[in-house]
Structure 1
C-alpha cells in the first residue's frame, strides 16, 4: 500500500539524531507492508490525492485554529481526500481532521495533557480488538470540543472526552494521543520542555507515569487493521 505521511511538525533538533523525526516514528508504528513517502505540508503544497492510497497526519506544535498559510490548504486537501483515501491522524492530525470535517478545536482551559494517559473504549470499530481501555503517551493542550457530523467516539477520558474518533463513512480514524512515541522519546521530550511548557512538578509526574503499561503496540495494530482491512486503500 502507498502511504503518504503528511508532516505538519518536527521533533526537537536535539532529539532527532537518537529518535528520528515524526514521519519515521509513524512508519515504525505501522510496520511493514507500506510504501511510505513523506510530504512536508508546512513547506509545500499537499500532494495530489491519487499519489497514495492512504495518508497519516503527524503531530505539530501548531494549533489548527492558527492563521498559518499551510493550514487551509491542508484542510481543503483532507476534505477532498475523504472517501478517496483512508485517513489517520494523531494529535494535531486528530484535530485537523475534526476541523476539516466540521468539528471545533480549542486551546483547552484544562491545560497540558502529558505523560501516559488511560482511555476507555467508548465504541468499538471493526478495526479494533476486544480491549476495554488503552494507555498511550500524550502531549497536547488543544482539544476537540465539538464533534464533526457523522463521527463516533472510540476512546474517551475525563480529561479528553473525544480522545479517539472514527468517521461513520469509514474514511478516517484519529487519536489525540501519540502511539508513535515510545516511552524513551516521550521522556526525552518532556525533559526538553521542562520549565518551558511544564513545571517541574508536571514533568516529574508525567515521566513517572510513563513507567506504567503502554498499549502503543495495540493501537498500532488498530491502525494497521484500519489501513489494511477489507477493501484497503479506499474507504468501505
Structure 2
C-alpha cells in the first residue's frame, strides 16, 4: 500500500517561474517520483487557506519552503503554526523544508530568526552528526542547494541535531522520531536555484552572487535526502500500524 503524503504548500511562485516549474509541491512530487517507494500526494496551498477536510488522515504532512518568514505574523502563517501544533499533539508525522523546517521548530518550542551570517546560497555541505536507521544510504556529509536568510537558532526541547555546518548549526533535526526538519532544498534543481539567484541578485554582493552561481556546478544529494525523508515516513507508518 502506498504512503499517503499531504503537502502543505506555503508559497505561490511568480508567473514567470510558475510557468516553468509549477510550484514547490510539484517539485517535491517530481523528486519523490525518483525514489523507489510508492507515494500518493494530496496538495493544499495554505497561503490560499486550503487544508485537508476534518478527519482526513495521512501517513505524513510536509511543509514546503516559502519566501515568507516563518516568524511572520500574517494570518495564514499563524493558522499554519496552530495546525502544525494540533497535528503534532495528535501524534502525526511532520516534515518541513526551509520555511517548513523553521516553522516546525518555532511551533514546537524552538527559535527561528534572521541568520547573523546573512544569506545561505548555492550548494552547501553539512556534516552528519547523528545517524538513524532511516538514513539509508548512509552518508558522513551531505551537500544540498540552499536559499535562505533565516534559520533555526535554537532547537525545540528534546530535538536532536542530525546535520550541521558552521554557518547553519541546526541544518537538519528530528524530534520524537516523528518530526523531521531540513533547512536545505532537496527538491531544487540547479536551474531553479539559478533563476532565484538572478531574481534576488540585488540582495547580494557581486562576490557573494558569483560564489553562489559557481557553487551550483557542484553535485548535491537532493535525491538521497528524498530517500531519507520517505524512509522516515515509512519507518513511522510501520510503528503506527503496530501500535
- Counterpart CA distance in 2 for 1:233 and 1:15 is 40
User: C-alpha displacement at 1:49, in angstroms?
Assistant: 6.1
Asked if the contact 1:46/1:73 (under 8 Å) is kept, the reply is no
User: C-alpha displacement at 1:225, in angstroms?
Assistant: 0.6
Structure 2: runs of 5+ lacking an equivalent? none
User: C-alpha displacement at 1:85, in angstroms?
Assistant: 2.4
The 10-residue stretch of structure 1 (121-130 or 9-18) with the greater mean CA deviation from structure 2: 9-18
Residue of structure 2 aligned with 1:42, choices 47, 71, 92: 47
User: C-alpha displacement at 1:234, in angstroms?
Assistant: 4.4
Q: Deviation per CA, 1:1-37, whole angstroms, max 9, x where unpaired?
A: 2211101113332122222210001112222622211
User: Is 1:60 aligned to 2:58, yes or no?
Assistant: no
User: C-alpha displacement at 1:227, in angstroms?
Assistant: 1.6
The 10-residue stretch of structure 1 (88-97 or 31-40) with the greater mean CA deviation from structure 2: 31-40
Structure 1: runs of 5+ lacking an equivalent? none
Give 1 or 2: higher helix fraction: 2
User: Is 1:121 aligned to 2:128, yes or no?
Assistant: yes
- TM-score, reference length from structure 1: 0.92
- Counterpart CA distance in 1 for 2:13 and 2:209 is 18
- Counterpart CA distance in 1 for 2:133 and 2:217 is 30
Question: What SS does the corresponding residue of 2:70 show, helix, strand or coil?
Answer: coil
Question: What SS does the corresponding residue of 2:180 show, helix, strand or coil?
Answer: strand
Q: Deviation per CA, 1:68-93, whole angstroms, max 9, x where unpaired?
A: 10122211111111253221100000
Aligned pairs for 1:146-165 (under 5 A) are 146-165=154-173
Aligned pairs for 1:187-226 (under 5 A) are 187-195=194-202, 197-226=203-232
The 10-residue stretch of structure 1 (10-19 or 184-193) with the greater mean CA deviation from structure 2: 10-19
> RMSD of aligned C-alpha atoms?
1.9
2:23 maps to which residue? Answer: 21
- TM-score, reference length from structure 2: 0.90
1:134 maps to which residue? Answer: 142
Q: How many residues end up aligned between the 2 structures?
A: 234
